Amino acid sequence: MRRKLFMSGVLVACTATIPQWASAYEAGDLIVRMGAATVAPREDSSALSIAGVGAIAGSGAGVDDNTQLGITLTYMLNRNWGLGLLAATPFEHDVDADTGALGLGRVDAASIKHLPPSLTLQYHPLPDNRRFQPYIGAGINYTTFFSESVDSELEAVLGNGDLEMDDSWGLALEMGIDVALDDRWTLNAAIWYLDIDTEATFEFDSGVVLDADVDVDPLVYAVNLAYRF
């Protein structure tokens, strides 16, 4: 679904009737983009580990996709270089767990929210007046997790529980394209890679403590309408 949304946005952008006279970006321009952003985790989880016992063979955790309102800003330092900021409304994900040798199968484990603000330095290779303005960027991502809650399906087995997920610092990469509608408005399609590594710790009233290292490492797909100030 996320790939269809992303490709549809690219198709619309590339087939729109666009004037040739759209102005090039200049130093001091602020481009505000707003639209749908989908976080698609490419998670790689370590085995779940019971404190004092060790790793559970065949176990692991997974995180589902989520789409929210995405907002990105670019402040142009000059005609080629800009500072980019990725923001969004909080993403919400369900977490499931494969219990492996515990023999409980795959269970709904938790729900979480997170915000992954990212700051990048963008390069715009086509400074002249163009209907298409591609760009690439690299920078840093900070992801904070909150509103973590343990699912009732897991609590039914292990008792009431709490979940804590560590915040994360990592690399952010992006690429995108702006397609001019007029001198101020553009359509935009973009994709990010975010390096998000966290440790999930489940603590239950029964005394059981489960830990797992999770490399979320999502791709973020976005289709936006943008305005240049």
Q: How many domains does the chain have?
A: 1
What's the pLDDT at 41?
87
What's the pLDDT at 23?
66
List phi, psi (to 5°) of 3. -70, -35
Is 42 in a helix, a strand, or coil? Answer: coil
What's the pLDDT at 16?
46
What's the pLDDT at 47?
66
pLDDT tens digits for the chain (229 residues)? Answer: 555 545 455 444 444 444 444 567 889 999 999 999 999 888 766 666 676 666 676 666 778 889 999 999 999 999 999 999 999 999 988 887 776 656 666 677 788 899 999 999 999 998 777 788 999 999 999 999 999 888 887 777 777 888 888 999 999 999 999 998 988 899 999 999 999 988 888 888 877 787 878 888 899 999 999 999 9
What's the pLDDT at 21?
44
List phi, psi (to 5°) of 186. -140, 160
Is 159 in a helix, a strand, or coil? Answer: coil
Is 15 in a helix, a strand, or coil? Answer: helix
What's the pLDDT at 64?
83
- Whether the CA torsion 144, 146, 151, 157 is positive or negative: it is positive
Q: Which residues contact 152 (CB under 8 A, 6 or more apart)?
A: none
Range of the domain at 31: 2-228
CATH number at residue 98: 2.40.160.20
List phi, psi (to 5°) of 155. -65, -30
Q: Which residues contact 146 (CB under 8 A, 6 or more apart)?
A: 90, 112, 113, 114, 115
- The pTM for the full model equals 0.78
Q: Which residues contact 40 (CB under 8 A, 6 or more apart)?
A: 2, 65, 218, 219, 220, 221
